[in-house]
A = this chain, B = another copy of it.
C-alpha cells in the first residue's frame, strides 16, 4: 500500500492528512502552530506527528511516497519559502529541512495555491483542469490552476487576487489612493463597508453600529435588510469585476469562491452573479472547507513526485 501526506501550515494550527494514491482522505490531525522562537519548532513538530502516526498505523517509510506542504508565504522555484510573517519565519528551506527530519520527499507550495489545487482535485472543481479560486477570509487570497498545473509565477507570488486594484479612492485632501479587492471583499472589508454605511444611515436596520460582522451582514440581507443589501451590492460589484477580469484573461472552466465568507452560501453567489459578466464559466462555492489545503498539498506532492 502507498500513501502520501498533505500538510497545511497556518498561523494558528497545522493540519495534516493521510491520503491513499487515489486521494481518499484516510485520517487527519491538527496540531498547534508554535510560532514562538521564530517558529523553529514548527517543522520538527510536523515531522514528529507524521512519524508517530506512521508508527501507530504501521506504515513504513517506503510506503509514504511524498509529503506535500502548504505555507502562508510565496514559494520560489527552488522550493525555498519567502518570509512567512504569521509563522515567525524568515526565508526558509522547508523542503530540505523537512526531508532531513522525515527521510521522505517533500514538495512545498503556497497554501492558497494548494487550496485551489485541492478544490480541483476533490472539491468544487472536480473534473476541471482550468480553475481559479478566490478565498474570502480575514484577507483575500487565491490560486490559479491552468491545464491541471498550478501557476506559481516567477517568484512564487502568483494568485494574489486580493491585490487586484478595485477602486481609486479620492481622499479628503483630493489625493487618490488605490484600494485593492481585499479592502472591500474580505470579512474585514465587508465590516468596514457596513460600518461606513451605518455611520451615515437613518433607515431602520438590524445591523448594530460598532458591532457588525460579515455573517451579520449576510444574515440581515437574507431578511431583506436594505442597508445590508446595499453593503452586499458594493462587495459584489468589486468581486464581480475582479472575477470577470480573471475570466477574460485566463478563460477558466470554473471560478470557485472559498474562505470563511463563502459560508454565507448561495446568497453570495446570487449577489456576485448579478455583478459579473462571465461567459462560458461556472461560478461555484468551494466544497472542501478547511480541508482544501491538505487535499491540495497531497495532490501537489503526488503530481511533483511523478514528474
Contacts and interface: CB of A to CB of B under 8 A. Distances in A.
Contacts of A281: 154
A250 interface: yes
Interface in A267-307: 277, 280-281
Give the copy number: 2
Interface string A118-161: 00000000001110000000000010101101011111111111
A262 interface: no
Interface stretch (A189-197, A203-211, A240-248): A240-248
A253 interface: yes
A20 interface: no
A151, A248, A277: residue with the most chain B Cβ atoms closer than 10 Å: A248
A113 to B, nearest CB: 11
Nearest to A254: B154
29 contacts: A129-B154, A130-B154, A144-B249, A144-B250, A146-B146, A146-B151, A147-B151, A149-B149, A151-B250, A152-B251, A153-B251, A153-B252, A154-B251, A154-B280, A155-B251, A158-B249, A158-B251, A159-B249, A160-B248, A160-B249, A160-B251, A161-B248, A161-B249, A165-B241, A165-B244, A178-B277, A245-B245, A246-B249, A249-B249
Interface of A: 128-130, 142, 144, 146-147, 149, 151-161, 163-165, 178, 241, 244-246, 248-253, 277, 280-281
